[in-house]
């Protein structure tokens, strides 16, 4: 016990002999604290900066993904517009030529499938508040389906082929061109024009009217402008 007391006394004496100014002592105590505090603050700031950066990256990735999805919807509807545009001058030139008719019908079938997918995608992705755009897309879908059904009913009824055969018979009698000889027909503008006139009927007129009504729905103010907020890409300043 006496030995321990002696050691403490010696330590106190040593400290008294080698003492430093109290200000320096306090400074040496504060500096590590300040450094530790600065490191902690820097770590917190860095953490929030990283979170904000990750959020910005996530938002940009979401915008890019959304842009791609909406573009696919737009392209799907444009495919329908293109299919209908092939008969914008009337369906008669297509119906009088079986080879052209088959190609166009296949094109219409493909467009119908793509259109259904595009509409379903739009129904899932577009905000519920986008009622006007939703109604536009639904209206085009319904009208296009009506056109496809009308065309197939007309073909499957046999009336389309019967009208074609009867029109060709008159052309053969008038111009001496053998039935289904389209190579010779198209070298004779008058014969080709007369064949189309002979083929026109209430069914083709009805289909033409439906196609025109649907094509009108693709005008800029009725269609494209509603996609612009989603498809225009702007460079944003951070």
Q: Is the pLDDT confidence value at 7 over 50? A: no
Residue 31 to residue 37: CA distance in whole angstroms: 10
What confidence score (pLDDT) does residue 127 get?
Answer: 87
Query: 64 or 229: whose pLDDT is higher?
Result: 229
Residue 202 to residue 73: CA distance in whole angstroms: 34
Q: How high is the mean pLDDT of the chain?
A: 82
Cβ atoms of 162 and 146 within 8 Å: the answer is no
Residue 82 to residue 130: CA distance in whole angstroms: 25
What confidence score (pLDDT) does residue 90 get?
Answer: 95
Write down the number of H helices and E strands in the chain: 10, 0
Residue 198 to residue 119: CA distance in whole angstroms: 39
Nearest to 101 by CA among 12, 218, 204, 215: 204
Percent of the chain's residues with pLDDT above 70:
70
Give the Cβ contact number of residue 8 at 10 Å. 9
Q: Is the pLDDT confidence value at 231 over 50? A: yes
Cβ atoms of 123 and 134 within 8 Å: the answer is yes
Cβ atoms of 144 and 214 within 8 Å: the answer is yes
What confidence score (pLDDT) does residue 39 get?
Answer: 58
C-alpha torsion sign, points 102, 106, 111, 112: positive
Residues 75-90, mean pLDDT to the nearest whole number: 95
Could you read off the pLDDT of 154-208 as tens digits, one per residue? 999 999 999 999 999 999 999 999 999 999 999 999 999 999 999 999 999 999 9
């Amino acid at each position: 016990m006496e030995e321990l007391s002696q050691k403490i006394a010696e330590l106190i004496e040593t400290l008294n002999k080698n003492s430093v100014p109290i200000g320096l002592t306090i400074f040496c105590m504060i500096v590590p604290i300040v450094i530790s505090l600065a490191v902690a603050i820097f770590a917190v700031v860095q953490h929030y900066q990283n979170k904000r950066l990750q959020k910005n990256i996530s938002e940009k990735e979401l915008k890019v993904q959304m842009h791609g999805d909406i573009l696919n919807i737009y392209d799907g509807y444009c495919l329908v517009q293109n299919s209908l545009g092939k008969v914008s001058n009337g369906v008669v030139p297509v119906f009088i030529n079986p080879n052209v008719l088959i190609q166009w019908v296949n094109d219409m079938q493909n467009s119908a499938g793509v259109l259904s997918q595009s509409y379903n995608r739009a129904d899932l992705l577009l905000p519920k508040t986008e009622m006007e755009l939703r109604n536009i897309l639904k209206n085009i879908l319904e009208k296009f389906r009506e056109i496809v059904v009308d065309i197939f009913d007309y073909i499957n009824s046999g009336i389309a082929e019967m009208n074609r055969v009867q029109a060709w018979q008159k052309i053969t009698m008038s111009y001496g061109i053998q039935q289904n000889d389209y190579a010779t027909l198209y070298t004779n503008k008058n014969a080709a024009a007369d064949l189309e006139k002979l083929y026109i009927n209430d069914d083709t007129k009805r289909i033409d009217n439906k196609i025109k009504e649907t094509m009108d729905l693709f005008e800029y103010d009725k269609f494209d402008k509603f996609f612009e907020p989603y498809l225009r890409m702007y460079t944003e300043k951070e």
